Every structure is written in structure tokens, then in C-alpha cells.
Amino acid sequence: MKTLHWFLLLLIIAFTVLRSVEAQNQAGFISLDCGLVPKETTYVERSTNITYKSDADYIDSGLVGKINDAYKTLFQQQVWALRSFPVGQRNCYNVNLTASRKYLIRGTFVYGNYDGLNQLPSFDLHIGPNKWSSVKIRGVTNTSMHEIIHVIPQNSLQVCLVKTGPTTPFISSLEFRPLNNETYATQSGSLTLFARVYFPSTSSSFIRYDEDIHDRVWNSYTDNETVSISTDLPVDTSNIYDVPQSVMKTAAVPKNASQPWHLWWELDDITAQSYIYMHFAEVQNLKASDIREFNITYNEGIRWYSYLRPSKLSISIFSNPKAVSSSNGIFNFTFAMTGNSTLPPLLNALEIYTVVDLLQLETNKDEVTAMMNIKETYGLSKKISWQGDPCAPQIYLWEGVNCSYPDSEASRIISLNLNASELTGSITSDISKLTQLTVLDLSNNDLSGEIPAFFADMKLLKLINLSGNPRLNLTAIPDSLQERVNSNSLTLILGENQNLNPKKESKKVPVVAIAASVAGVFALLVIFAIYFVIKRKSAKNTKAPGPPSVASGIVKSETRSSNPSIMTKERKITYPEVLKMTNNFERVLGKGGFGTVYHGNLDDAQVAVKMLSHSSAQGYKEFKAEVELLLRVHHRHLVGLVGYCDDGDNLALIYEYMANGDLRENMSGKRGGNVLTWENRMQIAVEAAQGLEYLHNGCRPPMVHRDVKTTNILLNERCGAKLADFGLSRSFPIDGECHVSTVVAGTPGYLDPEYYKTNWLSEKSDVYSFGVVLLEIVTNQPVINKMRERPHINEWVGFMLTKGDIKSIVDPKLMGDFDTNGAWKVVELALACVNPSSNRRPTMAHVVMELNECVAFENARRQGSEEMYSMASVDYSLSSASEFAPGAR
């Protein structure tokens, strides 16, 4: 008897050790409890034996929180805490994984009223630079679980939460599970989970690790049309998919064995491409005379598989080798007995996935690593935009970073501006890994140590600004770097009062020589270099400023003049030259309160010459402001300044020529009567928004336009849009106050009412004006019409929408040829922009993102297929259209 007791004791110990080993056998698993504190905490979740740890080492932003205590008993421990992101448009986790390995990635979201607001959040989820899914929390205690099966292209991955509206993104847990690369194959794209179900006798259970060694979550499914059958015997599941025993030991069969069994679901996106996996095993002990044989078809007789006989206690898996879709988003599968069969069909488990194409290329992986190291070295986590991929997508470009976007290749970083970023220590060698860099600005920091020699090896680097670093050793410049400076292939700005090594000095040359050496390489670099040189000049008297001193191309800044004249003469044009280029003002392009715009020709290129009228309300101050702004800002959706004339009383601005005039003319039909299509309108809207977003976020200091309207959006010969007329623009503080006090300026109807009442100007004033522009684009109605019941377009649109019909406001000239979903989206966006409270308006970065989706909707409509973004929560609905030949596995 004592021997038996010892045996039982040893058996219990062995079982306990085995369970412990299983709990630790989670090779490749990364299981993050988001918001878990302190950061060193780990624990084993009781129901799954999964070891969870804090997410703190994987992200450097966000606030920790906890769901309401009353809800904790409803959930597993890993969702009790959470991390929320009230600051920043995009916040990202950085996780090291195995390149070219397939992973199941799962984000889980339980709101639990953690913030006490009872406001259900919605936001987007991204994989790297690409949208993965939209998260929409349906209830305070609802679990939203999103899964994607994705091959990791590099050895690290970024999972980002993106704010898309007024609510705050958050996440409860984030999990990564390695899979066999041979499983869940697709012809293209990654797979988002729509449903993964099995058929037990009760609906209360779900299965995941450690019964499923890959920690897939299998939800139970029951209905009134089926019954569950099961076995206690083991089922052979030995194949690459490793389906759990507990899943395959049960199956569903129809209650009415003599009738076909219909199983159907519906996808929200009717154009979604799907992959469907069906798992079969015979779990009943059949008599010698029993036969279970059935055919599977879907959507009115399309063949899926014929004469299927499930193997006894052994798994068979059937899936479509090519993605399928359905014209109405509904999949209706029929399981029907053959004439030979004596038993009804069965199904043990079902997996449904939809394809998401992640088309946006990531930035070059070495440069991403370098930027992450630079961020860590200098403690730049406080830079809100420094989250995720540095370059992609462009609307989330990191502050101070500019990139190139070659076709079919990874983005590359071409300029880095860390001016006044509180950098300390030496200049990190990670900068040398940015091999495409042309401009580097490290000015106005507290860097120390030597100027590194690796700068000389960065062959594309044309400008380095190190001024304003008093502790940086500038007494000895590396010989290799000095050679590049001497050869005029590199401009080096060191700052004032530096004692350079005399043997490295050469005779002084005027600033024009510097400009000439750089202009041939890149026009942007010219303006950049001149701006930084002259910004630090101040005259010793009231005369026009003289050229800065230069030693072999090394620029030493001087004090700036207080003279209010325009800062550079590089693009100054005389009045006789204006007369010549316009052929004595022969052809008028347009007139306004500022004066007249004439057609001209300069160096074989067409230009538009805006002559400032002597009676114009736009005086020299506005003229000077516009010139200086356009000399320092460059964007493909801002009208470029070719030159200016400041010749006595003759003031002129010479712009690039925009062949199709302004947007208002084109909307009204004054440009030949051609109606702008909805596709044209959406593209114009997004391009104008990108130009405005650049002023707000890409300029240093940021700029507020103050006169955004349809007549200031110009179109080129291809209807590409550019924002124009910057005479009222104002610079804006980078830090500190979120607004500036200024005299109200702008155009009635477009003018922000909050700005009008308070004189407080912010970038949200431009957002308001742009919202009015969006309503004009949609409706083609005047901004103010006193004949309407609601004179202002904002009020009129709101009033008309109370009828619930978007067609009542869309421009009738479109003849109904537009995407309804896109129209609703752009109107809702416009109405958010014109919210009376500036705090409730979106940023221009958000506006650009939303408009890009509207463009995608319209492109998809015209091409007959729409890119699919599906929730990975279990909401039953599916799709399929083209015939395929399934294969057994």
C-alpha cells in the first residue's frame, strides 16, 4: 500500500514538472501584457500557462492604465492592464523577430472603461508602414481581437496604433507566434483572421495554448441546424498545421440528415479576397454498411470538393490554392450527401481569412536601424513624430527627416535636421549609415568632441551645419573632410568666433561663390545654405548686409542686419526684365485685389507674373513675407517662386505657370466647361491638403497660411494641385504657446470664427478654411448664398444631411458618378474641420490620411476592386466568386 502511495506521489510530481516544462516551452513566443508595471514583472497566466511580460522595453510612448476592477473577473489577466496613446498621431512597438519567418501576430483590445469616460474608441492598426485593420470597440466589456499571419521581411517589425478620430488608441496585449512557413500560403499579401471555429456540444468554451501549440484561438460555434458529435479516441493530427486534438475530436453534422446542410457567412467588404480552410476527420465508429460521402459546393453550385470521405480518426485539410471573392460578400456553402452515402456530412473545424496587401515599402532596413540608434543615443523619444518607419507612409514622415521614394525600392533618407534638439555628447557614427544623406543640420545643440572623419566618406553629403555647438572641437578639421571642402563638393557651416587651423584657411570669397558651388547639385541646398548663413548675419551699420566670410567653403556666421529688405538677391529680377518676359504685359491671366497676373516666358519656361497694384491692400510687408517664405519652403504641392521684382515702386512675384488656373474657375466651368470628375476632385483635395500639411509640420518654423480657399488652389496641365498666395502667412512657435495673437486676416466665408472672435491664430484656423474648401469640392455650391435657407455652406450642408441623403448635396454635374462611401467620408471629414471649437478639429496630417482613403475608394470603384481592410474579430461573413480546384493536405 505504501508503495502505491509513493507511486501516486511520483506521478503527481512528474505531471507537475511536465506542466511546468510545457509552460516554458514557448519557443519564439513574445507575449506582451501592455501597460504592465513595474516593467520587470512577468507572470504565468493560469488558464493558458503562457508567460507574459511588460511591454515597456518595446515602446517609448503611451500611458499605462487598468480596466475597471468590476470587469477583471470577466477576462484573462493579460488584459487587465493596458497602454493608451493620447499624444501623437502614430505610436509604435518595435519588436525583434526572425527575418523571412511567418508569424501569427495578435492584438487584443478590452476597453473596460479604463479612463472613466464611457467613450468607445476607434482607431487603426498598422504593420510597419501599412494599414492592417481598423479597431472599433463595440462595448465596454467587448473583446476585440485582431490577428494577421505575416511573413516578416526584416529582422524587426513595427506594430503601430494610429489615431483616426477624437478617441484615444489603446492596446491590452500584443502577441507574436512563429508558424511553419509552409502553412497558410498565399499568392500575395498577408492574411487577416475573419473566423476560426470548431463545433463542440456547448458554446461556452474556446481553445488556445497549450492545447494549440501555436496559440491559435479556436472559438466554439453552435446553431439550431446542427448537432455535435465527438470521440474519446485520439485523432491523428500529425501534419504541418498542428490542429489541436480537442478541436478535431468534435464535429458538426446537420440535424436533418436527409437534407443538405447550408453554412454561410458574410463579409463587410464585398471585394475582399478570401482563403478558407476546412478540417475533416471521421469521429464516429462506422458500421460495415455505413458510408459518409458528400459533395461541397458554394454560391449556387460552384464546386469546392466532390465525393469527400473523411478519414477515420485522421485529419484532412482542404483549402483553396487561389484567393476567392463573392460579388455580394456572401458565401453560402452546401454540404450534400451523395447517392452512395448513408450518413450526413460533417465538418470538424473551419478557418476563414481575408487578404490584406501590404504594398507600401519600408525604409531601407540599415537606415531604419541607424535612425533608431540615433533616437536612442540622443534621447529623442520626446519627438512625437519619431515613431514607426522614418519615411513611410509619407504622411507620418519623421520631423526633420526628408526621404526619396524610388519606384519599387525602399525609401532612403536624404536630409536630417536636428537643429535645436538638445543633443549632447559626441557625433554618433550611426549617421554614417545614412548613405544617401545630402543635408545634415546638427546646429544649436550641445555636442562635444571632434568633427568625425566619416563625414568625408559620405559621398552624397553636400551641406553640414554644426554651428551653435560651443563645446564641439573645431580647431582641427580632418584632412579628408578639408579636401572635400576645398574642392567645393561640400559646404561646412561651423558658426561664429571659431579659431580654425591657419594652414587650412584660404582667401575669402563672397557668398555667391558658395551658392554657385552648391546650386549645380541641388537647388534646395542652395536655399538651405544661404538661409543659415544669412540668418546669423547682422550688419555693423544700417547699410545692406555684406557677404559672410568664407574659409575654403567653411562658412563662419556673422551677426544679421536689422535692415528689413528681402534676405537674398539670388532670384531678384529687374523691372525691365519683367517687361521683357511679359512682352510688355501682353497677356492677362487673371485679376484680383492684389493686382493683375500676366503670362510670361523666362529661360524658355512659362511663368505667371503677379504685379502688385499700387492701390492693393497687399502692401510691401505681405509682398516681402511671401517672397521670404517661398525662398525657404519647397514642396511639390506648393506653387514655386521663380523670382521676384523689388524695383522702386514696381513689385512683382514670378511663379511657375499653372496652366489650368484656379480650382474655383474649374468648378464653375469657366475653364472650358469640362466637369471635374470625382476622381479629379479627390486627388486635388489630397494634394492641396499635403501642401498645407507641409506648412504646418514640414516647415521650421511652422507656417499658418491664413487664406486657404479655392481660388488659392491652382492646377497645372495635368490637374495637379498646388497651394498658392502666401502673403498673409505667419510663422508659428515650435514650442510653448499653441497659438499666436495677430490681427485677423483672411477671406469672409473661409475665416475661422474662433480666430475672428479671439485674434488667436493657430494651425487649426487653416483646418477650418480647408474644411470649407472640401464642402465646395463636394457640392460645387458658393460658400455664402443669401438666397439659401442656410446662407453659409457649412450650415446648408448640415441642414441637407438631416435628410440622410448624400446625393442631395453632391454636385449634380457629376451625374451620380462618384463613390458614395467616399462622399460620406469626405463630408464627415469636412464637417469635423469646420467644428466651431478648434480643439475638436482634426490636424492636417489626419485630413491627408482620410483623403488618401477617399482617393483609394474612388480608384477601387473605377477599377472594380477595393482594397480590403477587415476586422479580425469573429463577425461571421465571407466571400468567393471564381471557381478553383481545392487540394487535400
In DSSP terms, 280 is beta-bridged to: 316
Contact 565, 628 (CB under 8 A): no
The contacts of residue 212 (CB under 8 Å, 6+ apart) are 218, 242, 243, 244, 247
Distance CA 804, CA 450 (A): 67
> 540 among the known binding-site residues?
no
Which stretches within 694-747 are classed as H helix? none
> DSSP assignment, residue 312?
B
Distance CA 562, CA 316 (A): 83
Of the residues 707, 725, 752, 819, only one is catalytic, namely: 707
> DSSP assignment, residue 696?
I
What is the chain's percent helix, strand, coil content, to nearest 5? Answer: 25, 25, 45
Per-residue HEC secondary structure of 133-160 comes to EEEECCCCCCEEEEEEEEECCCCEEEEE
Cα 427 from chain centroid (whole Å) = 30
The contacts of residue 454 (CB under 8 Å, 6+ apart) are 429, 431, 432
Q: Note if 662 is an active site residue.
A: no
597 grid coordinates? 497676373
Burial class from Cβ neighbours inside 10 Å (0-12, 13-18, 19+) for residue 188 reads: exposed
> DSSP assignment, residue 236?
B
Cis omega (within 30 of 0) for bond into 393? yes
> DSSP assignment, residue 638?
B
Q: Helix 511-519 and helix 523-535: axis angle, to 10°?
A: 160
Chain position carrying cell 555628447: 425
Contact 783, 749 (CB under 8 A): yes
Cα 697 from chain centroid (whole Å) = 15
Contact 154, 115 (CB under 8 A): no
Which positions make up the binding site for ATP?
610
Residues identified as active-site: 707
Which positions make up the binding site?
610
